Amino acid sequence: MTPDVVVDVGNTRIKMGVRGPDGTLKLEYFDPEWLGIEVLPMSLDLANARTWVISGSHPELQAQLIRDVNYTFENVVQVTNFKQLPITIAVDHPERVGLDRLLGAVAANRLRTPGRTAVTVDVGTAVTVNSIDANGTFTGGLILPGVRLMLMSLHQNTSKLPLIDSDGRRFSDRTFPGKSTEDAIRAGVSYAIAGAVRLALDHAKIDGKYPELFLTGGGSDAVADLLADFHPRQVPTLVLEGLLITAETLP
C-alpha cells in the first residue's frame, strides 16, 4: 500500500503529511479543536488524497478523525498494533509501547548508517528517548515530561512561579545562571530535557562511539542547540515517515 496521506494523532497536536509526486511528505500541524474534515489545513492539497493511513497516541481523537475522513475519501487504514510495524521489538511488554515511539524507530532504521546504533528523541507532550541497536531492534528507552508539562507543573504546584509561554517551544536566554525567574525556568526546563538525553547517550555509547541522534517533535528546537556536539539530525516528519514505511509493508 502506498498512502497519499499519513496522520499522527497526538495528545497536543495532530500531524499530517501529504505525499508529493517525488514521495516526500509535506507536513502540517493542527490542533485537536480544529478537528473535522471541513477545516483540515488548507495549505495541503487533498484533491487526490484517496488513501489515508492514521495512527497516534490519542484513541478518541483518532476515532473522530477516521469517522470524518471516511465520509469523504475512499480508503482509510488505521495502524493500531505493534505487530503491523516492520521492526523487531525487544522489551518486556511491546503492546504497551507507544506507537509513535516505534514508528520513529522504523524511520530511524531507514535513515541511520547501517551497523550503527541510533537514538530518537521526540519532544512532545512527553519526551521519549528511544534506543535502536545495531541490528535495527527497538530496545526501549526513557520517558519524561515535555516542555509544556514541566512549565505547567512548576506554575500549578508552587505559589509564585509564573506560567511561561511555550508557543513555538523556542527558548532564548537559556544560559546558566538565569538573570530572572523566567530565564531560570526556561534554562531549567531545557537543561532537564537535554541533560536526560545526554545521560542516555552516554549510557548507550559502545566502544567510545555514540549512537546517531535523531530529533523530532514540536519542542525539539528547545534542546537542539544544547545537543549540538552530538550532531543531531532534526527530522520533523520522523513519525510520519515511519508510518509511511509501515504502510508500504501492509497488504
Instruction: Enumerate residues 6+ apart whose C-beta is below 8 A from 3.
Output: 19, 51, 52, 53, 77, 244, 247
| Pairwise CA distance, residues 251 & 246, whole Å | 10
DSSP secondary structure string, 157-207? TSSSPPPPP-GGG---S-PSSPSSHHHHHHHHHHHHHHHHHHHHHHHT-BT
Catalytic residues: 100
Please name the residue that has the C-alpha cell 513555538.
Answer: 168
Contact 163, 151 (CB under 8 A): yes
Helices 238-249 and 99-111, axial angle in degrees (round to 10): 90
Pairing state of beta strands 118-123 and 75-78? unpaired
Contact 242, 15 (CB under 8 A): no
Pairing state of beta strands 118-123 and 126-132? antiparallel
How many Cα atoms occupy the beta-carbon half-sphere of 211 within 13 Å? 29
